[in-house]
A and B are shown apart, each in its own frame.
Chain A
Amino acid sequence: MDFSYSDEQQMLQDSVQKFVQRHYSFDDRRELLESEQGFSAENWKLFAELGWLTVPFKVEDDGFGGLATDLMVLMEEFGKAMVVEPFVANAVLGGGLLSELGSAEQKAEYLPKIMEGGLQLAAAITEAGARNNLANISCSASKLGDGYELNGEKIVVLNGPAAELLVVSARTGGEQLDETGISLFLVDANAEGVKKHSYTNIDGHRAAEISFDKVKLAQSALLGGEGEAYATLVSVADKATLAVCSEAVGAMDALLQKTVEYAKTRKQFGTAIGSFQALQHRMADMFIECQLARSITIMAAMKLDGDEDETAKQKAVSAAKARVGKAIRTVGQEAVQLHGGIGITDELDVGHLFKRVTAIETMFGNTDFHTKRFAAL
C-alpha cells in the first residue's frame, strides 16, 4: 500500500501551485468574479497549455490517463485557491460523457478541442424536483424524421452560460423514473429553440436554466446507444463527484490553516484567542474532520482507479461525498465562528471558501442523498 504521490502527480501539484502563486490571488479571483464571463479565457488557455485539461482523459483519447487519483491532486489545489474556471463542468462531466460514449467521429471532432481549451462544454443533466436522481428525467427526445425533437428544461447547468455545446440527458423511452430509455444528445447551445437563463451561483460559479423548445436534432447528435445512457451518466457524475470532494478537501485545509493562523494572531482578553482550550479543541475537531475527509476521498479515488465492480465504485463515491459533506458543515461553520464577524465579510477569503464548500455539499447529491445511496447499494 502506498499513499505517496507519483512523480507525475507531484509535478501536477507543483504546476498548479505555481500558477496560483502567479495568477490567482484573492484579488485576481475577485476580478474574475466581477467580469462578464465570470472566469478568465486566458486562464483557460493556460490550463490547456499546462496539460491540465487532459487530466480527466484516457491515454487512448490522447489524455493524461483519466485517473481519479490524478484528478484528486489537481482538484485539491483548485480547492485551496477557489479556482472558478469551469473545469469540472467542462472537462470532467461534459468531456467524460463524450469520452465514454462518443463514436470515433464524435471523439475526433470534440475531444482535441476540449483538451486544447477551444470548446466550452456543459452537461445539462439535472431537472427540477429530481434531487440528483439522474434517472428522474422528463425532458423528452422523440423521433422526428431522421433525427429527434428535444423538449424540456434543465436546471442549474454548471458552465451553462459559457457553454457552446451541451450534453443533454433526455428520455427516448420509459417512464419518468426509469433507468432505461435515457439517452444523451450533443446540442449546439445556439440552436433554434435553446433558451438560456444565465446567472451566478452563491459560490461565484456561473450556471443557467436551459430550456429546449422543439429543438431539432440530427441522428448524429445521439451520444452512445439510444436509451442506454444511464449507467455511464452515473459513472461520469460519480467521477465529477469525486472531483468536487477533492476540491472540498483542499478548500477545507485552507479554512483550517487560515483559522489556526487567525487564532494565533487575534488577541482578546490580553492573549491570542488560540490559547483558549475551548477554542483549541474546536480547531482540533476541524483538523480531525479535514483528515477524515481527505482519507475517505483518497479511498474513493483509489477504488475508482481500481478494478472493482461498478457497485463498489458507486458505494465508495457515496461514502466520500457523504463524509465530506458532513466535514463541510463542521469545518465551514467553525472556520466562520472562530473568525467572528470578520468571517462573514465579503472582504475576507474565509467567507468565500465557506460559500464554495457549502455549494459543493449541495452539488451532485447532498449528504443525505449519498448516505441513502450508500445504504441501498
Chain B
Amino acid sequence: MDAAFTVEELEFQREVQEFLEAEFPKDIRAKVAQKKHLDKEDYVRWQKILYKKGWAAPNWPVEHGGTGWTPVQKYIFAQEMAKVGAMEPVAFGMKMVAPVIYTYGSEEQKQRFLPDILASNVWWCQGYSEPNAGSDLASLKTTAVRDGDHYVVNGTKTWNTLGQYADWIFCLVRTDSTVKKQEGISFLLIDMKTPGIKLSPIYLIDGTPEVNEVYFEDVRVPVENLIGEENKGWTYAKVLLTHERTNIAGVPRSKTRLAKLKELAARTPDGNGGMMIDDPVFAKKIAETEIQVLALEYAELRTLAAVSTGKAPGPESSILKIVGTEATQYLDELFMELASLHGLPFVPEQFQDGFDGEVVGDDAAAATALTYFNNRKQSIFGGSNEIQKNIISKAVLGL
C-alpha cells in the first residue's frame, strides 16, 4: 500500500500542468472563472485540443484511442484539469455511449461512431427517462417496431440534457412488451436529423433551458443502429449507468471548490470585524466537508484501482454517486452561506458572454444560490440517490 506519487507520476503531473497552462484557451478559462455560460463551441474547441494531444478519452481502451494511463495517472489528470477549471468532456458521447459501443457494438459500429466521438465531431445526448419512467426506468414505453430494414420509433423522452446541441441520441426503446419489462428493451442510436423528432425545452428553476422533452413520431431508424442484440438493451444500459455514476463523484472538482471556498472565506468579512475563515462555526463546516471529500477521494481511488481499463465498476460505485453528489450540494450550501445577502440577486444576463453591465455585489457571490438550486438535480439524476441505496441494499448487502 502506497499513497505517495512515484517520480514518474510527479513527472506526469508536471507534463499535464504544462500542457494545461499552454493549451487550455485563456478566453474559456476566463469564462469558467466568471461562471459565464459556456456554449457548444467552447466545449468542442477545448475537446478538440485534448484530442490533438491524444488525451481526449483517458478511460477508453487504447485500441480505440484511450491513453493507456494507470488509474493514478487518470486521477492526476482529472485533478489538474479541475484546478484550472478545464471542462470535462460532455459525458454523453465520451463517457456514456462510447463504452457501450466499444463493449457491445459491432465492428462496423465501432468504426463508424467511435472516431467521431473521440474527435468531438459529433455531439451525443441521452434518451433514457420518460415522463412515467423515472426511477422505474425499466417501465419505459417508447416503442420501436420492426418494419423491414427499419425500426419505427414512437414515444416521449424527458430530462434530455443539452439535446439542443446534439447530432445523435442514444435511446432505450421497447421492442417487446409481452415479456418481463427489463427483457423487452433495446438500445438504439438515432440521428437527430431523422424526420419525426421534435425537441421542447424544459426551463429549470435557475432559469436555464438545460433539459428537453424529446418527441418521436414514426421515426424510422435503420436496424444497423441497434446495439448488440434486440431486447438486451437493459443489460447494456446498466453498464452505462455504472460509468455515469462513477463520473458523477466529482472529487477533483469538489477539491478545487473547497480551495476556492477557503480563499473566499479568508477575504469575506464576518460582519464583526473579522473574516469568515476565522469564524469557528463556519470553519467547522469547511473542515467537515474537507474530511468528507477526503474519505470520498480514497473511496474513489480504491474503486478506480480495482477496475482495469475500459471495464465498468461494480455496484459499490453507488457510494461514489451518493456521497459525491451530496458533497457537491453541501459545498453549494456553504458558498451560498458565505455570499450572504449578495447571494440573493438573480441577474442571468451577467452570465452571458459579452455582458458589460454593472455586476451586483461580489463576482463570487453571484450565482451561488442558482448553483445551489441547479445542483439539487445531482441527487436526482443518474439514478436517484434513493435508487443507489436500493442497489447497495440488494446488490452489495444481499438484502
Contacts and interface: CB of A to CB of B under 8 A. Distances in A.
Interface in A314-359: 329, 333, 336-337, 340-341, 343-347, 351-352, 354-355, 358-359
Interface residues of A, number: 50
A133 B272 contact: yes
B386 A177 contact: no
Given A136-B272, A267-B132, A269-B136, A202 B374 contact: no
A268 B270 CA distance: 47
Range for the number of chain B residues in contact with chain A:
35 or more
Given A128-B361, A336-B376, A354-B373, A362 B340 contact: yes
Contacts, number: 140
A329 B346 contact: no
A268 B139 contact: yes
Given A345-B203, A371-B281, A132 B134 contact: no
B341 A156 contact: yes
Interface of B: 129, 132-136, 139, 158-159, 202-205, 207, 211, 268-273, 281-282, 333, 336-337, 340-347, 358, 360-361, 369-370, 372-374, 376-377, 379-381, 384-386, 389
A337 B337 CA distance: 21
Interface string A281-312: 00000000000000000000000000000000
A23 interface: no
Given A126-B341, A345-B205, A362-B341, A202 B373 contact: yes
11 contacts: A128-B361, A201-B345, A201-B346, A268-B134, A278-B389, A336-B380, A337-B380, A341-B134, A346-B207, A368-B281, A368-B282
Contacts of A203: 344
A366 interface: yes
A85 interface: no
Given A269-B136, A352-B205, A362 B358 contact: no
Contacts of B135: 268-269, 273, 340
B343 to A, nearest CB: 6
B376 A156 contact: no
Nearest to B393: A278
The SS class assigned to the A binding surface is mixed
Contacts of B281: 368, 371-372
A129 B271 contact: yes
A-B complex: 10 closest residue pairs judged by Cβ atoms: A131-B271, A351-B205, A129-B269, A268-B136, A133-B271, A346-B203, A156-B341, A201-B344, A202-B346, A269-B136
A232 interface: no
A363 to B, nearest CB: 8
B162 to A, nearest CB: 15
Contact of A341 (B344, B361, B377): B377
